[in-house]
Amino acid sequence: MAKQEASGQSLNQIKTSTNIVFNIVFLILAIMCVIPLLFVFSISITDEQAIRADGYQLIPQALSGAAYEFLWNERLTILRAAFMSVLVTIVGTMISIALNTSMGYVVSRRNFKLKKLYTWLIFIPMVFNGGMLASYVVVSNILGLNNSIWALILPLACSAFSVTICRTFFRTTVPDSIIESAKIDGAGQFRIWSQIVLPISKPVMATIGMFVLL
């Protein structure tokens, strides 16, 4: 038994030479990841005339803070853009979770009469896509969302892939007995979805929220 354990430990051990090679490879990879960041920073503090004369270099020939001065002068625009990004992300994520989970819950119910129709309406966009031009025409001409923040939120609010994930989760995780018990107690579908289904669906809500957030 002791011999077997010793042989097993010897097989799991890494030779010193192999360990050194691995460390060198990982060090090279780490340097390859850091150098582009240093290169960009070097360009940002290099004088524009030096860039025109000598090109991009890792070590600046002439220092200049003009780039950061420009950013400081445009700080209101940058802050407003950052605020809009945060606003679109938060509002869009909340709306997307609400729409995807509600539609996924409806399609997951076996006694829903239009389940097959809605399933096909969800499946077809996953296979066929109208493309960028068709999406632009719908958002711009049909929905009239030009120059509106909703043009960044509503087109991505509901996803066929996310609805499919929610439907599968509700069908396999939420027991029908809970739904039937709630109906006997007089709860409507909206109350069942908001007060019973969602509280026990935090994993799928986190998954959908992560997709939309990214």
Whole-structure pTM value: 0.69
Torsion sign (Cα): 96, 103, 143, 141 = positive
**Beta-ladder partners of 46:** 63
Chain segment 79-120, per-residue pLDDT in tens:
999 999 999 999 999 999 999 998 888 888 888 888 888 888
Secondary structure element (H or E) that encloses residue 125, with its range: helix 115-127
Rounded distance between C-alpha atoms, residue 211 and residue 204, angstroms = 11
Q: Which residues of the chain have pLDDT under 70?
A: 1-12
